[in-house]
Copies of this chain bind each other. A is one copy, B any other.
Amino acid sequence: MAERLVVIGGNPAGMAAATNARRGRPDLEIVAVERGSHTSYSSCGLPYLVGGAVGSVDDLVVRTPQEFRDHHRIDVRLRHEVVGIDLDARRIEVRALDQARTLHLGFDLLHLATGARPNRPDLPGVDEPWVHGVQTIDDTTRLLRAVEEQRCRRVVVVGSGYIGLELAEAFVDRGVEVTLLEAGPQPLAAIDPDLGAQVAAVLRGYGVGLRLGVQVQGFEDHQVLTSEGPVPADLVVLGTGVRPASELALDAGLAAGANGAIAVDHRQRTSASGIYAAGDCADTYHLVSRRRVHIALGTVANKTARVAGTNLGGGYATFPGVLGTALTRVCQFEIARTGLNQAQAREAGLEFVVGTAQATSRAGYFPGAVDVTARVIAERGTGRVLGGQLLGGDRVGKRIDTLATAITAGFTASQVIDLDLGYAPAVSTLWDPVQVAAQEAANLVARGSAR
């Protein structure tokens, strides 16, 4: 009898692993079970479904179950929720949601791609029907229906991470009055506070009612109760981060890693033989802090799934790790970061200098040039680049990739200055903003070592 690989989770972290495993092992029986109604969609696109830039749910679906069946011989079962994993018997227990029946499915190999779920803060009223989380297509469909049916005029977004910001923009684009409540002193804690202040100005300029330092205390009668008094809301969306959906795995006895995620090694193997995990449910390795971390991003999910799938298919692949590179465009403004920010570097016990450059996106004399802020954080003494941040319009965000690549290479700030990067006045400056920031950092490193 053919060996069977069971994949839990029809998202890209599951399906990319399944297709990679298929490539290596044509003989394998592959079954994928998914609780929701769709396979393999771009969850990063969900906010744009709310804002209207993306017209339909179908646009976000990369591949349908039928395509997986036809092209990869993968048996996809939608609306099937896994309720238990038995490591000894090597089988899972599954509830077929539409038939309201439970079945068992044996496996030889198992891949976990159970993803993440939105944090729901433990507050009175958080389970009210007008308080939404957005993680899946099904969540988003529910949210959109609510927006349309209730002729929603006032929305409160709680939390100013990437999803919170993107949703706030999306509602402004729909013509809805948006209040964005953030408990901390700045939006987007992933970047340094002074750069967060720039983002705050951009949000307010776009029409987002940003309120900082506000503690949410509960939800009642279409009001968000806060430390600063009640805020009326036809609808609330929680953008308060996600946590790994790892309960199933941990309950079965698999080891836990960073932030309660499933612990995996460099081949995406969990603590049990023949069982792999990838994507938002698993932890990973940070190349700069050299610690296990949990980073729930689509890029990491796809990369780790590819590695898991290759190994599941009998091949050999390792995942080197992540930098926490993240990029978002909010209100026509791009925010990008990689490596460690100042708080993270401090937390990792690293001493550093900070080089910051005010530059332009194109040659200063060229029409369309806009202001850009670039930052390079470099280790004191060695000059090794630890992190970078980039803010501005005019498509500069992707230039964070230069720093991500340089950090991966272990380059110093001085080495970044010497990089032979592309230049044309119509699209860039002669010295890229990241090089100007690297020059600042290199000067500070040199000054430090001269003391």
Interface assignment of A53: CB less than 8 Å from any CB of chain B = yes
Residue among A326, A327, A398 with most chain B CB within 10 A: A398
Q: How far is the CA of A428 from the CA of B427 in the complex (A)?
A: 16
Interface assignment of A397: CB less than 8 Å from any CB of chain B = yes
Contact of A422 among B325, B363, B418 (CB under 8 A): B325
B residues near A366, Cβ cutoff 8 Å:
45, 48, 53-54
A418 in contact with B54 given A302-B430, A328-B424, A401-B432 (CB within 8 Å):
no
8 Å CB contacts to B: which residues of A21-41? none
B residues near A401, Cβ cutoff 8 Å:
399, 401-402, 419, 421-422, 432
Q: How far is the CA of A53 from the CA of B367 in the complex (A)?
A: 7
Q: How far is the CA of A397 from the CA of B396 in the complex (A)?
A: 11
8 Å CB contacts to B: which residues of A405-419? 405-406, 408-409, 411, 415, 417-419
Interface assignment of A323: CB less than 8 Å from any CB of chain B = yes
Interface assignment of A300: CB less than 8 Å from any CB of chain B = yes
The contact string, 1 if C-beta is below 8 Å from chain B, for chain A 268-308, is 00000000000000000001000000000111101100000
Interface assignment of A42: CB less than 8 Å from any CB of chain B = yes
B residues near A68, Cβ cutoff 8 Å:
none
Interface assignment of A395: CB less than 8 Å from any CB of chain B = yes
Task: Check A430–B298 contact: CB distance below 8 A.
Answer: yes
B residues near A44, Cβ cutoff 8 Å:
363, 423-425, 430
* Residue on B nearest A416 in the bound complex, by CB: B405
B residues near A334, Cβ cutoff 8 Å:
424, 427
Task: Check A408–B408 contact: CB distance below 8 A.
Answer: no
Task: Check B327–A428 contact: CB distance below 8 A.
Answer: yes
Interface assignment of A426: CB less than 8 Å from any CB of chain B = yes
* Residue on B nearest A407 in the bound complex, by CB: B420
Task: Check A405–B427 contact: CB distance below 8 A.
Answer: no
Task: Check B425–A302 contact: CB distance below 8 A.
Answer: no
Q: How far is the CA of A425 from the CA of B302 in the complex (A)?
A: 14
Q: How far is the CA of A394 from the CA of B427 in the complex (A)?
A: 10
The contact string, 1 if C-beta is below 8 Å from chain B, for chain A 36-67, is 00000010110010000110000110000000
* Residue on B nearest A306 in the bound complex, by CB: B417
B residues near A206, Cβ cutoff 8 Å:
none
Task: Check A420–B365 contact: CB distance below 8 A.
Answer: no
Interface assignment of A167: CB less than 8 Å from any CB of chain B = no
Task: Check A420–B323 contact: CB distance below 8 A.
Answer: yes
Q: How far is the CA of A419 from the CA of B338 in the complex (A)?
A: 11
Task: Check B427–A325 contact: CB distance below 8 A.
Answer: no
Contact of A431 among B302, B406, B408, B423 (CB under 8 A): B302
Residue among A42, A297, A327, A425 with most chain B CB within 10 A: A425
Interface assignment of A336: CB less than 8 Å from any CB of chain B = yes
B residues near A328, Cβ cutoff 8 Å:
424
Q: How far is the CA of A329 from the CA of B395 in the complex (A)?
A: 15
Q: How far is the CA of A295 from the CA of B60 in the complex (A)?
A: 45
Task: Check B42–A425 contact: CB distance below 8 A.
Answer: yes
Q: How far is the CA of A4 from the CA of B415 in the complex (A)?
A: 31
Interface assignment of A322: CB less than 8 Å from any CB of chain B = yes
Interface assignment of A203: CB less than 8 Å from any CB of chain B = no
CB proximity of A60 to chain B, nearest CB, Å: 6
8 Å CB contacts to B: which residues of A355-413? 363, 365-367, 394-395, 397-402, 404-406, 408-409, 411
Contact of A329 among B326, B420, B426 (CB under 8 A): B426
Q: How far is the CA of A328 from the CA of B427 in the complex (A)?
A: 8
B residues near A424, Cβ cutoff 8 Å:
44, 327-329, 334, 397
* Residue on B nearest A410 in the bound complex, by CB: B409
What 10 pairs between A and B have smallest CB-CB spacing? A327-B422, A409-B409, A395-B395, A59-B365, A405-B405, A329-B426, A323-B420, A325-B420, A401-B421, A401-B402
Pairs A–B under 8 Å by Cβ, sample size 19: A42-B363, A44-B425, A44-B430, A53-B367, A53-B426, A320-B418, A325-B420, A325-B421, A327-B423, A329-B427, A336-B422, A395-B395, A397-B427, A398-B399, A398-B427, A398-B432, A405-B409, A405-B411, A406-B409
- Tell me the A residues contacting B by CB distance below 8 Å: 42, 44-45, 48, 53-54, 59-60, 287, 297-300, 302-303, 319-329, 334, 336, 338, 363, 365-367, 394-395, 397-402, 404-406, 408-409, 411, 415, 417-428, 430-432
